[in-house]
Amino acid sequence: MIATAQQTAAAPDLVGMLPEEAEAALREHFAARGQPGYRVGQVLRWVYERGAFGFGDMTNLPQGERAALAEAFSFTAPEPAKVSRSVDGTAKHLWRLADGELIESVLIPTPTRLTLCISSQAGCAMACTFCATGWAGYRRQLSAGEIVAQFRGARKWAQENGYNDVTNIVFMGMGEPLMNPKAVFPTLAILNRGYRFGARRVTISTVGVVPGILRMAEMPEQFRLAVSLHAPNHELRQKLIPLEKKFPLPELLEALRRFDQAGGKRITFEYVMIDGVTDAPELADELAGVIREFNAFVNLIPFNPIPGTEWKPSRRARLDYFVERLERQGISAHVRESRGSDIAAACGQLRAEVTEGRKPVQIGSL
Ligand code: SAH
């Protein structure tokens, strides 16, 4: 009995394995049981195409084989703790992980797309001053299986609730994806090679983790990169983003040059528009100067109010003028309309809030 329990705890997670690892492990598993080789393909189809949520769902396998799989492997499927739906169609899932940690993912429909925003960490250690996830503190890294499971769970919910297929995945939920390379890079491979999700439809958003950007530059696949720049100079940026002290702007820009030179991958710069803090017209000029060398465009994100700060979003006229100043200098810019703010699903608002059973984390004054 004890041996079985230990074996289960250590059992590799089929959802978090690279497709080729999963295939090899299944091949070995079925060979050892004297089962035909086609069982491997049956299971892989259940995982990547047929959206099974556990071995019990794999109904074309004999009962005994399903049970043997459940002994040998685990299968991450977080429990949906809560689903909130915005008036604009945005849907937020709160997922409870096996150890009780909570994370969120957000489905954002538009007429032509369904974008899924996923979390890479429970909480976030970056402590950006304008972000609710940062204020709530860091809990732990997610495993690849836990990241992929958000996609599997949200996609199923979308299918059952009259939404289209997920067309885009953005790592813009809780956490800093490039601070969790051990899980995030395998996740990219799993989405791309397992679920056949095109690399260009997957975006990693980073606050500027230089080693991770350099690693992305070397990847042959064209995963997209978004950089949360938010300020065009070191002084202002370090007031908003503590990581600026570790990877100052010149170093970040150098890494982005390497990414840009790798070719074919357009960089998105994200820039939060906070009234009186980041929205001065001169900052638009400075920003244009800094990013002009890149094949890039700017996503301006009107600040979404969060508890604990007095900051307000930029007024519409300031926002429009900022866009105009950028465009006058040949930089394409776009205002990202806030989606799902009525259910605290907009950029920077995710903090896995539930009423029961969880103490808030203090991260000290900023
Ligand atoms: N850690 C990654 C992923 C978070 S993505 C990153 O920093 O890029 C979420 C995006 O929303 C980031 O660009 C983030 O800076 C931005 N954001 C955070 N708080 C916000 C707020 N209150 N209003 C608007 N945008 C915010």
Tell the residue nearest (CA) to atom 9 of ligand 1: 172
Q: Which of 117, 124, 131, 347 is catalytic?
A: 347
Phi/psi for 162 (5° steps) reads 75, 15
Q: Which residues line ligand 1 (CB under 6 A)?
A: 126, 128, 130-131, 172, 176, 205-207, 228, 270, 272, 301, 303-304, 306, 347-348
Ranges of each domain in the chain? 14-72, 80-355
Annotated catalytic, 324?
Answer: no
Q: Which helix (H) or strand (E) holds 299?
A: strand 296-302
pLDDT value, residue 356: 43
3-state secondary structure 228-249: ECCCCCHHHHHHHCHHHHCCCH
Cα distance between residue 83 and residue 85, in whole Å = 7
CB-CB contact of 234 with 247 (8 Å)? no
Using DSSP's 3-state secondary structure scheme, residue 114 falls into strand
CA of 113 from ligand 1 middle (Å) equals 21
Annotated catalytic, 104?
Answer: yes
Task: Record the tokens describing residue 203, joined without a space.
Answer: 């975006």
What ligand 1 atom has the least distance to the C-alpha of 205?
8
Q: Which of 104, 146, 244, 270 is catalytic?
A: 104
Q: Say if pTM beats, i.e. exceeds, 0.95.
A: no
What ligand 1 atom has the least distance to the C-alpha of 174?
4
pLDDT value, residue 343: 85
CA of 347 from ligand 1 middle (Å) equals 5
Q: Give the closest residue to 168 by CA, choosing from 135, 201, 131, 119.
A: 201
Cα distance between residue 214 and residue 256, in whole Å = 8
Architecture of domain 14-72: Orthogonal Bundle (1.10)
pLDDT value, residue 338: 82
Cα distance between residue 179 and residue 182, in whole Å = 9
Strands 102-109 and 114-117: antiparallel
What ligand 1 atom has the least distance to the C-alpha of 227?
8
What ligand 1 atom has the least distance to the C-alpha of 131?
19
Cα distance between residue 319 and residue 300, in whole Å = 8
CA of 238 from ligand 1 middle (Å) equals 15
In Å, the largest CA–CA distance within the chain is: 71
Q: Give the closest residue to 20 by CA, choosing from 145, 188, 190.
A: 190
pLDDT value, residue 360: 39
Using DSSP's 3-state secondary structure scheme, residue 307 falls into coil
Mutate to test the pocket of ligand 1, among 106, 169, 172 (most ligand atoms within 8 A of CB): 172
Mutate to test the pocket of ligand 1, among 240, 301, 314, 339 (most ligand atoms within 8 A of CB): 301
pLDDT value, residue 342: 84
CA of 6 from ligand 1 middle (Å) equals 40
Mutate to test the pocket of ligand 1, among 104, 128, 244, 338 (most ligand atoms within 8 A of CB): 128
pLDDT value, residue 344: 82
Using DSSP's 3-state secondary structure scheme, residue 199 falls into helix
> What's the count of helices (H) and strands (E) in the chain, helices before strands?
12, 12
pLDDT value, residue 364: 32
Per-residue pLDDT in tens (0 to 9) along the chain, 366 residues:
333 334 445 799 999 999 999 999 999 999 999 999 999 999 999 999 999 999 999 999 999 999 999 999 999 998 899 999 999 999 999 999 999 999 999 999 999 999 999 999 999 999 999 998 888 899 999 999 999 999 999 999 999 999 999 999 999 999 999 999 999 999 999 999 999 999 999 999 999 999 999 999 999 999 999 999 999 999 999 999 999 999 999 999 999 999 999 876 789 999 999 999 999 999 999 999 999 999 789 999 999 988 888 999 999 999 999 999 999 999 999 998 888 888 888 887 887 765 444 443 333 332
CATH T-level assignment (fold) for domain 80-355: TIM Barrel (3.20.20)
DSSP 122: E
CA of 38 from ligand 1 middle (Å) equals 45
pLDDT value, residue 359: 40
Task: Record the tokens describing residue 359, joined without a space.
Answer: 């103490």
pLDDT value, residue 347: 81
What ligand 1 atom has the least distance to the C-alpha of 172?
5
What ligand 1 atom has the least distance to the C-alpha of 304?
23
CA of 209 from ligand 1 middle (Å) equals 14
Cα distance between residue 114 and residue 163, in whole Å = 8
pLDDT value, residue 9: 55
Tell the residue nearest (CA) to atom 20 of ligand 1: 348
Q: Facing residues of 108 across strands? A: 115
Mutate to test the pocket of ligand 1, among 103, 115, 130, 299 (most ligand atoms within 8 A of CB): 130
